[in-house]
Amino acid sequence: MPVLAVLVSVGVWMSANGAAGVASPLPRAVVLAVVVASGTAVAVARVRRWPLFAAAAVAWPLLAAWPVPAAASLLAGLWLRGRRRIVAYLAGAVLVTAIGVMVGWAAGGHRQITMATPGNVLTLFAWLVLLPLVIGLWTRARRDTVGALRDRAERLEREQVARMEQARAEERARIAREMHDVVAHRVSLMVVHAGALEVTSADSAAVETASLIRSTGRQALADLREVLGVLRGAAGPVPPPGLSEVDVLIQESRTAGLRVDRQDEGIPRPLPATVGRTVHRVVREALTNVRKHALDAETTVSLRYLSSGVEVGVRNGPAIGGAALPGAGLGLIGLRERVELLGGRLTAGPYDEGFLVRALLPTGEPE
């Protein structure tokens, strides 16, 4: 709008001086006033339109200034909606043109030739009113069409996202059903057989082992139910274990025959829930790997409180013997992703003939 206002002001000035129109005999002060009024009317046209139409109705009969009616017709095509408003604007343009014809006849000379002869009147009306009006209407229609297409594309994109979410939910439910059919059935059978062995066996060691298997199986079923509830989108999410459950993991590993010690350094303090859960996941995954690959190795779980974070490490010594249990090899990969999402760093690899998993997790506290 500021650019168009400047162009209209310059055009009116040039038209009144004869450089781009018919020279006006009116005083320069009047011409300058019309120039300023025309530019101001264009500048405020987005807020108020009537000043522009009023400026066009004055500038054409008074100075034969063609830029103002051209700009008014263009903006009328862009902004006026409804057939009645367009017809009313054309009726007003015809009235202003008729007034210009009368002024031209009264002024005579070049003004009469330009504004009062039938051929020039029709030509100027077509160029200054009809053509800009059509251009404005076409531009508005194209803009509306593009906006409608954009809205349609956004709506289709939202619908596609909704369909993807629905498909994801259906897939989660299918996975939950399959897990229940396959895993829960097998684990429940294991618990039943362990319970039967605990009751019927006369060997105290066998009874103790059966009791451990039964309690572990029941805990596995409880964990599985929690996972199935999440997959099915059940209401009321189950709060995941955190730092307070690390001792439970260590005790479970000791019960399973693993030699585990815990070492803490620094001043214990409450940790953010996400950090506590990640510490729990690191310890759980590391102890699971120890039970798979080095069940007879000595293991140390260390937790070191730093000024701006916490460091957790699980180190096991060399394994003496025994076959390793099968694994997918994806646990540490997922664990590293979880740690890095919190801005931490995880290292895992051989250490002093054993294996070390260490994670450094920031807590967001200033050093």
Domain residue extents for the chain = 2-116, 162-231, 243-362
Q: Give the pTM.
A: 0.46
pLDDT at residue 303 in the model? 92
- As a whole number of angstroms, the distance between CA 109 and CA 85 comes to 36
pLDDT digits (tens, 9 = 90+) for 106-146: 777 777 777 777 887 788 888 888 888 899 889 988 988 99
Bridge partners of 305, per DSSP, are 310
Of the ranges 173-177, 311-315, 328-332, which one carries the lowest mean pLDDT score?
Answer: 328-332
pLDDT band for 203, please (50, 70, 90 cuts).
confident
pLDDT at residue 235 in the model? 43
Residue 311 pLDDT exceeds 90? yes
Classify the phi-psi angles of 348: left when phi > 0, otherwise alpha if psi is within -120 to 50, otherwise beta.
beta
What's at 143, amino acid-wise? R
pLDDT at residue 366 in the model? 45
Give mean pLDDT, residues 208-233.
Answer: 72
pLDDT band for 327, please (50, 70, 90 cuts).
very low
Question: How many other CB atoms are there within 10 angstroms of residue 240's CB atom?
Answer: 14
pLDDT at residue 300 in the model? 92
Residue 285 pLDDT exceeds 70? yes
pLDDT band for 229, please (50, 70, 90 cuts).
low
Of the ranges 204-213, 217-226, 302-311, 357-366, which one carries the lowest mean pLDDT score?
Answer: 217-226
Task: Please provide residue 344's backbone torsions phi and psi, each rounded to the nearest 5 degrees.
Answer: -95, -170
Return the CATH number of the domain spanning residue range 243-362: 3.30.565.10
Do strands 259-265 and 298-305 pair parallel, antiparallel, or not at all (unpaired)? parallel
pLDDT at residue 180 in the model? 67
Residue 249 pLDDT exceeds 90? no
pLDDT at residue 111 in the model? 72
Most confidently modeled of 172-176, 179-183, 312-316? 312-316
361: CB partners within 8 A, 6+ apart: 275, 278, 279, 309, 310, 311, 312, 339, 342, 344
